[in-house]
């Protein structure tokens, strides 16, 4: 077998394995391998496809977000796609990200970034019309999600009505639903006592709790929400602040909960300082995070940079070392 056909058969093997892991993680909320192992295989696929671009196909997991929604929920078509994020696992990848931004923008001046913990839960879209919560959906495959309005309405820190009165007629708030660690531990203790399914980690407990057909079950689960971006905003003439970080503050004024650790930084150097500061306080945070996210703060630059198939060019997730995720998953395997 020559090098090219060896790569091709490895690509096919990786796609099949990753598709199976995606199904277990996104559809069944029941991962069979630790995230670090998944990430290794996913990166191997990305590298091989980069080296052999003619082998990239539309149905490769490298081109897709999440998984198709479960048919037991009604479907919601996202007006603005809900994408994933590119990952950086080391400082060099972050510096390369900054260089790509400068090259594409043909800009030498240092860029400002919104810096946000990467909450380990699941992405949710919440639509407000005339200040009232009218619909909520999961990300699904990025284009079509599951209608989980009844469940989202049970989450205590999500406002059913926005504060104030100067909000746009129609505004889609995006953010992460997650389960704080203390709630996760209590939930698993109670599940064990009742002989019910024990969750692998807070992320899967949050996903399993939110995608319930009976919202009374969701209501009993200790879920929380932090907003981190906007989707559709109407009318088009509504004037929003020009920086992402200012838009987040505005959401805060309207009563939407924001992660207290969010900040801004200048250049990759500032981002790395933020990364180390959050990494140091990771254990003290009441919720799980698997890294930090850096987003070009100026919205017009975000628009210039645009998207690739599954992720925006203007953002990157800098992942933390994955030691604990392995421990968590193994702990559960021993407990079950």
Q: Tell me the residue ranges of DSSP E strands in 155-238.
A: 170-178, 224-234
Site for ligand NAD in 249-288 (CB under 6 A): none
- Near ligand NAD by CB under 6 A, which window of 25-33, 72-80, 143-151, 273-281? 25-33
Tell me whether residue 231 is exposed, middle or buried, using C-beta atoms within 10 angstroms of its C-beta: 0 to 12, 13 to 18, 19 or more: middle
When asked if residue 25 is in the footprint of ligand NAD (CB under 6 A), the reply is yes
* Residues constituting the chain: 336
Q: Which of 84, 266, 277, 309 touches ligand NAD (CB under 6 A)?
A: 84
Q: Tell me the residue ranges of DSSP E strands in the chain.
A: 75-77, 87-88, 112-119, 122-129, 132-138, 144-146, 170-178, 224-234, 263-266, 289-296, 315-319
319 is in an annotated binding site: yes
176 is in an annotated binding site: yes
Q: Which of 113, 184, 228, 254 touches ligand NAD (CB under 6 A)?
A: 228
84 is in an annotated binding site: yes
- Near ligand NAD by CB under 6 A, which window of 28-36, 93-101, 149-157, 210-218? 28-36
d(CA 238, CA 252): 18
d(CA 302, CA 214): 39
149 close to 125: Cβ distance less than 8 angstroms: no
CB of 235 to ligand NAD, least distance (A): 26
Kindly name the residue from 50, 118, 132, 186 that is annotated as catalytic: 118
What string marks each residue from 114 to 153 as x (binds ligand NAD by CB under 6 A) or -?
Answer: --x-xx--xx---------------x--------------
When asked if residue 22 is in the footprint of ligand NAD (CB under 6 A), the reply is yes
Count of residues that interact with ligand NAD, criterion CB under 6 A: 24
For 86, list phi and psi in degrees, rounded to 5: -70, 155
d(CA 225, CA 280): 23
When asked if residue 31 is in the footprint of ligand NAD (CB under 6 A), the reply is yes
311 close to 83: Cβ distance less than 8 angstroms: yes
Binding site for ligand NAD (CB under 6 A): 21-22, 24-25, 31, 33, 35, 38-39, 65-66, 84-85, 87, 116, 118-119, 122-123, 139, 176, 228, 293, 317
Active site residues: 118
State the binding site: 35-39, 84-85, 116, 139, 176, 295, 319
């Amino acid at each position: 077998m020559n090098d090219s056909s060896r790569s091709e058969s490895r690509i096919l093997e990786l796609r099949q394995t990753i598709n199976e892991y995606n199904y277990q993680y996104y559809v069944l909320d029941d991962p069979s391998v630790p995230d670090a192992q998944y990430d290794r295989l996913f990166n191997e696929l990305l590298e091989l496809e980069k080296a052999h671009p003619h082998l990239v196909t539309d149905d490769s997991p490298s081109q897709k977000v999440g998984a198709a929604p479960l048919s037991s929920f009604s479907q919601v078509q996202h007006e603005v796609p809900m994408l994933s994020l590119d990952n950086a696992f080391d400082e060099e990848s972050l510096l390369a990200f900054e260089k790509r931004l400068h090259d594409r923008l043909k800009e030498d001046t240092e860029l400002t970034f919104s810096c946000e913990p990467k909450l380990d839960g699941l992405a949710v879209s919440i639509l407000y019309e005339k200040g009232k919560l009218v619909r909520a959906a999961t990300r699904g495959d990025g284009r079509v999600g599951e209608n989980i309005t009844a469940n989202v309405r049970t989450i205590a820190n999500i406002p059913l009505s926005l504060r104030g009165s100067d909000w746009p007629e129609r505004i889609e708030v995006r953010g992460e639903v997650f389960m704080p660690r203390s709630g996760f531990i209590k939930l698993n203790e109670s599940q064990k006592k009742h002989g019910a399914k024990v969750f692998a980690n807070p992320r899967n407990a949050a996903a399993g709790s939110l995608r319930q057909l009976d919202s009374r079950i969701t209501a009993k689960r200790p879920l929380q929400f932090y907003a981190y971006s906007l989707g559709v905003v109407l009318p088009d003439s509504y004037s929003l602040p020009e920086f992402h970080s200012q838009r987040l503050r505005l959401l805060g004024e309207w009563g939407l909960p924001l992660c207290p650790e969010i900040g801004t930084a200048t250049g990759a150097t500032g981002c790395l300082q933020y990364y180390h500061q959050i990494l140091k306080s990771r254990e003290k945070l009441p919720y799980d995070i698997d890294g930090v996210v850096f987003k070009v703060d100026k919205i017009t630059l975000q628009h210039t940079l645009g998207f690739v198939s599954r992720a925006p060019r203007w953002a990157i997730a800098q992942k933390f070392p994955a030691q604990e995720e392995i421990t968590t998953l193994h702990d559960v395997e021993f407990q079950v």
